[in-house]
Structures are given as C-alpha cells and as structure tokens.
Structure 1
Amino acid sequence: MLLGKLCAPVENPDRLDALARKLIEAGLKQTAPIDHGRDAIDAVHSADYVEFLASSYERWAANPKAGPEVLPNTHPYRGRGSALAPSAKPRCSVVNAEAGWYIGDLNCAIGAGTWGAVYESAQAALSAAHAIIDGAPAAFALCRPPGHHAFADRASGFCFFNNAAIAADLMAQRAGRAAILDFDTHHGDGTQAIFYGRRDVLFASVHTDPTTYYPYFSGFADERGEGDGLGANLNVPLAPGSGDDAFLEACGMLVEAVRTHRAEVLVVSAGWDAHRDDPLSVLEVSTEAFARIGELLADLQLPTLIVQEGGYSLEASEQAAAAFVGAFCSRHKST
C-alpha cells in the first residue's frame, strides 16, 4: 500500500466499460437507467450534503485561485467538547470549509463531471431497484462511482452516494424486509452507519480486517448495531492472506444471517477487489471462489439486486464478475 504518493486513480471509467462488455458477453441484457429523481436519494442522504455535491465544483471553480478539483484542507472535530454536534451541518458557507465537512478522505476529489457521474450511478441502482419492485427476479446495477463508503452526509473511499443503501431503503419500503450482503474486500462503513440503528435492513459484510486495512475505523466483529438495530449488523473480518476457504466460510455465515433475518429482498454489494490479482487486495481469493459465492446467494432464492462496488484490476474484475454472474444465473429461479 502506498502512503502519501500521488498516482493515477484506480477508480476510473475503464472499469465501467470493461465490466459492461464482460457482463453482456455473459448474457446480461443492457438497459439504460431511468431518472427517478432525488426523492430516494434524499431519503438516505442529508439535503445539505446532496446540495454540496451538486453545487461545490461550480462554486470552487469561481475562485481564481482554485485548483482543478475540490479537495479539503481542514476538517472539523465533531465530538465531545466541540461546538458542532455530530449530526449538525456546518454554519459556514465557504466551499473549502464545507469540503472539510463533507469529504472524508482524499479519494473523493470533486471535478467538473463528478455530480453527473454520482447522480447517474445512483439512478442505475434505483432503476434496478424498481425492476425488482416490479417483479424482476434479479438485476445488476453497474454503478460507477461505487457507493458503500458513502455516509449519509460524507463522501469517502471513491464513494459519494451510497447506491446500495439508496436501493435497499426503497426496496424495504416497497418490496419487504431487506438485507444487504457485502463481499467487497473493504468494509462498507458508510452502509453500516446508515442502517446501524435500524432493524428492518440487515447489513452483513465480509472484508479484510480493518486493524491494518482501509477503512481502519469500522468493520470489527463486535459492531452489531445499536438501539432497534442491535443484532441487525454482522461483520466477519478476515486476516490478510486469507484464501478461498476462509472467504467462502464467511460468506456462508452472511447467507445464514440473511435467512435468520427472514429477508424478503436481497441487495448485494459486489466488489471484486478481494481477488488475489487486484492491486488493492491483501487476500488470496480466486476467480473460482466468486462462482461459488454466486451459487450461495442464488440458493437463497430471493429477489436480488447486485450493485457494483470495488474491483480495480480490469482482468481480475472481468473474470470474477463473469464467474459470479454465470453461477448465480444458473441456479437462481427465473434468471
């Protein structure tokens, strides 16, 4: 892992193009997302945060000293003893100060095309969610940027809108009790935070142990939810170097949690970055393991929305996604 070195972003448009080609080759039918507006986005994300994403680049660029992207240079302390409650919004209106409030790390620079990309990514998830609500047995939302590190009011880890959370929240209202199963190699800290106090949506994740791995500050096994959500949050962190057996055993635990939750619809945060050939991976997961995960999830026989998350080797992502989708479709009813 590189620390402090500027390099080309691994989250880039080539990911979308490569996966789209491979999934079409695997037999999936490509359809363009429909614009469902902002209501479902606003149900998950705070209105002030959404407005920041929509307006920040134009406001930033209006300054003659502005750099090419919106990036924070200061961050407020939100805990005890600060003047700002954790759930407050900033009282200032200076865009660089707002950037420190709403952007959690330097993976989330905002450029001229960021708002359009994140909005369309959320619409892809919403279009797939509506397909499930309307009776489709399964759908794949090829979202980019990804979403599971996005909090209700903060961007982090290449993520701006939490696509899986937006879809799951809508489906929980319209299609029944929902579960989110996340097998990206990074813990979905944003998704966990959004649903941490809710019982109606289970969040269950397998990921690399955050003791020494991004996002570092959440994803531990003792995080089980709080209040009404106590018991509706499951984390299975894996030690670096873990391979297929450990990964599949953990996925089996997540599947059992979905059954125990009595979920009626399933959202899958599908990241391919646990693959041993991914540049960000410290696990030893093979392409074949992703096929087996597809079978495990298909055997739940639930209406299933698969949302694209991470995966930064084009070749490894293509192989893993094709293996997963092929196995899932061969066993899931009516797909």
Structure 2
Amino acid sequence: MKAILDGRQIKHDPQNFMANGVISRSPEQPARVDVLKAGAEAAGYVFEEPKDVGLGPIAAIHSAEYLTFLQTIHARWLRIEGAAPEVIPNIHPGNRTDSYPKSAIGQAGYHQADTACPISADTWESAYWSAQTAITGADLVADGDSGVYALCRPPGHHAFTDLAGGFCFLNNSAIAAEQLRTKGFRPAILDVDVHHGNGTQGIFYRRADVLTVSIHADPARFYPFFWGHAHERGEGDGLGANFNFPLPRGTGDDDYLETLEAALARIAAFGADVLIVALGLDASINDPFKGLAVTQEGFRRIGDRLRSEKLPMLLVQEGGYLSSSLGANLTSVLKC
C-alpha cells in the first residue's frame, strides 16, 4: 500500500495562532508529520516521494494572482519597517469585488481569510510540496492503484481559489480531484474533517463535474462559521452537487456512521468512479478542537465502510492535531 510524503513539508512552522483574542503557538505543527507517518507505517503503508509536475495542476485550481502572492509576499512583507517575521493580515476587504491594492498589507488582507494562516519564508515551499504530494497520489490512483494515502501538510481544505485560511494555502483535495477529472474520472470529494471544507465547497460550488460532500461539526457556533450549513447545495450548474451534513457538537461513533451512510448514498447517486477523502482526524474525541467525539474504534469503522464502496480511493490528509491518539486513529482508518 502506497503513501506519499515530501520532507520539505515540515519547513513550514507557524508560530502564531489567534483564537478568542489570545495569541498562542499554532496547533498545525511540523511534529504532526512524524506522528502521522508512523501511524500510516503501522498500517502497512510504504512511503515514497512525490514527483514534481510543476505549477500546472495547482494553477488549474488557484489563480495566477494568488500563486504570485504566495510566492512573493514574505520577501515583500519584510521590507515593511518593523514588520513581524510572519505575514498576518490586520485588515480585510468587505467582499471579493473590492479594489485590489498594491500594498503588501492590503494584499495579505485580500488573500488571507483569518489569522490562522501566517506566512513565513518556508510556507510556499511546504505548501507546494504538499500539493505535489496530492497530485502524485491522484496520478497513482489514475494509473490503477486502488488506495493511496497522501500525507499533505500544510492541509488544504479551507483554501479557496485565491484565499488562504484555517492553516491552509493550497487546496490539495481540490487539486487532486481536478487532476483525476482531467484524466477522465468522475470524482467525488468526501470531507470528514471536524471543520467544514469551505474552500473545497467554494471552488466547485458552481460546477457539476465534481461532487463535494462534507461531514463536520455544526458551523453555527464552530469554525468556519459562515459556510457548511445544510441548505448550501450549490449554485447554477452546480446546484445539487454539494451536500453538507452538520453534526451537533460531541457527536459520537454511531451517529457519525449513520451520517456517513447518507453521505455515501449521495456519492453513489452521483455516479462517482473515484473517491477523494479529505481525511481530517480532528473529529477525534481527543483532538484539542473538541468538536466531535469519534473514538479510535469509530475511525476503524469509518475506514472499513469507505473501503466497502470498492471505489479507487485517494486519502488526502487534512486536519488532526497533536494528541495521544492521533497516530493510532490514522492507523485505524488505514488498516485493512
């Protein structure tokens, strides 16, 4: 069983995370990679490095303007007198149609949705190789591998076409889905992260060729707040190709698995011939975000149920933060 990882993904080491007005160390730490790698290896997966296929598949999802911003903003930011070592926005436009400023400060506000996605000198390199990890995984699945795990870090599902947020910069799951679509597949993305995959939803919201389904803690009082509600079904050509399953805080194994059945029924009705799982492990009862209460046994049941669909499957790592059970939860999902 194949797994993909590039060592350069650990270079991104965000130091700042603001929540409830308090600044602390970001939970999205490089140490996650070691824990998750060990968890996958315990399930029998063997890691290989991704290929570098360039910007093309990334630019198929993200705008050239945004990619230029990610590659250049840190150097520009450091030219500001007294600037902090990380790019963190302090002003945001009222909407995406407001003017696009020349200022590094203004562009940071335009392209960074919140204070959870600080950009350092190493962020672009890590995000780039995280995306290449997903692309290589997609190519392996397209070439006949039935199940591949892409250890992508930083994660991606909160990133829109031209907007970072929630620890995410490039939307790895969306990039993988588009890569598979260009190879003739009909992809569905199933997001099981505790947080709604708002970036993924936004990217495909007006498209009918990729199904997006998300199971997550109810955003009425949980990040990302403004997206992920059950009435959001897509728009235009995409109407009926997006489904959200918000769950009450503290939902445990049985209710989660019942919701998973409903999500898989939607995927079957779409006629998907490949499944991308945006694999957040932060639905765990032990995760520091404490949104849902899935146990290690629950993750085993989730993995077994996904495999029973008999679809080629790419698992793209999203959230799941340092806890006593993080690695074991991944082993439980992956182990056949």
TM-score when normalising by structure 1: 0.93
Q: Using the alignment, how far apart are the partners of 1:104 and 1:24 within structure 2?
A: 35
* Residue 266 (1) aligns with residue 283 (2): no
2:139 aligned with 1:130: yes
Match of 1:49 among 66, 69, 75: 66
1:306 to 2:311 alignment: no
- Corresponding residue to 1:95 among 97, 104, 109: 104
- Residues 133-158 of structure 1 show CA distances to partners (whole Å, capped at 9, x for unaligned) of 11111111000000000000100000
Cα distance in 1 for residues equivalent to 2:246 and 2:56: 34
Hey, what's the Cα distance between the residues in 1 that align with 2:100 and 2:117?
22
Paired residue secondary structure (1:67): coil
Compute the displacement of 1:94 (Å): 1.2
Map of 1:213 onto structure 2: 222
Q: Output the CA distance in 2 between the equivalents of 1:184 and 1:168.
A: 17
Q: Is the 8 A contact 2:204 2:210 kept in 1?
A: yes
Name the residue aligned to 2:75. 58
How many pairs are equivalent?
Answer: 319
Q: Is it true that 1:283 corresponds to 2:300 in the alignment?
A: no
Task: For residue 314 of structure 1, report the CA deviation from its aligned partner.
Answer: 3.8
Q: 1:27 aligns with which of 29, 44, 48?
A: 44
Q: Secondary structure at the match of 1:30?
A: strand
Task: Say whether the 8 Å CA contact 2:213–2:263 is kept in structure 1.
Answer: yes
Indicate the SS of the match to 2:48: coil
Unaligned runs of 5+ in 1: 331-335
- RMSD between aligned residues: 1.3
Identity of aligned residues (%): 45
Match for 1:110: what amino acid?
Answer: I
1:146 maps to a residue whose letter is P
Does residue 293 (structure 1) correspond to residue 292 (structure 2)? The answer is no
Over residues 145-181 of structure 1, what are the superposed CA-to-partner deviations in whole Å (9 max), with x where a residue is unaligned? 0000000010000000000000001101204111000
Note if contact 1:209-1:219 (Cα within 8 Å) is conserved in structure 2: yes
Find 1:160's aligned residue among 161, 169, 179: 169
What does residue 242 of structure 1 align with? 251
The one-letter code sitting in structure 1 at the alignment partner of 2:213 is A
Q: Any conservation in 1 of the 2:286–2:323 contact (CA below 8 Å)? A: no
* Contact 1:147/1:159, CA 8 A, preserved across alignment: yes
Structure 2 CA distance, aligned partners of 1:247 and 1:199? 27
Counterpart of 1:315 in 2: which secondary structure? Answer: coil
Give the corresponding residue for 1:172. 181
CA contact (8 A) 1:182 1:268 kept: yes
8 Å CA contact 2:288–2:323 kept in 1: the answer is: no
For 2:291 and 2:239, locate their aligned partners in 1 and report how far apart those are by CA, in whole Å: 30
Q: How does 1:133-152 map to 2 (within 5 A)?
A: 133-152=142-161
> How far does residue 2 in structure 1 lie from its aligned partner after superposition?
5.1
8 Å contact from structure 1 (residues 41, 166) kept in 2: yes
- Aligned partner (choices 12, 16, 21) of residue 4 of structure 1: 21
Contact 1:187/1:210 (8 A) holds in 2: yes
User: 1:282 deviation in Å?
Assistant: 2.6
Structure 2 residue corresponding to 1:121, chosen from 126, 130, 135: 130
Q: Which of the numbers 91, 109, 114 marks the counterpart of 1:74? A: 91
**1:303 counterpart letter in structure 2:** P
Structure 2 runs not aligned, ≥5 long: 1-17
Partner secondary structure for residue 23 of structure 1 = helix
Shift of 1:321: 0.6
In 2: Cα distance, 1:13 partner to 1:219 partner: 28
8 Å CA contact 1:272, 1:316 repeated in 2: no
Shift of 1:11: 0.3
C-alpha displacement of 1:229: 0.8
CA distances 1:62-107 after superposition (whole Å, capped 9, x unpaired):
233221111112111127xxxx35xxxx532211110010000000
Q: In the aligned structure 1, how far is the partner of 2:265 from the partner of 2:33?
A: 31
TM superposition score normalised by structure 2: 0.92
1:13 is aligned to 2:30: yes
Conserved 8 A contact 2:100-2:110? no
Supply the distance in 2 between the matched residues of 1:2 and 1:123 (Cα, whole angstroms): 30
Cα displacement (A) at 1:323? 0.3
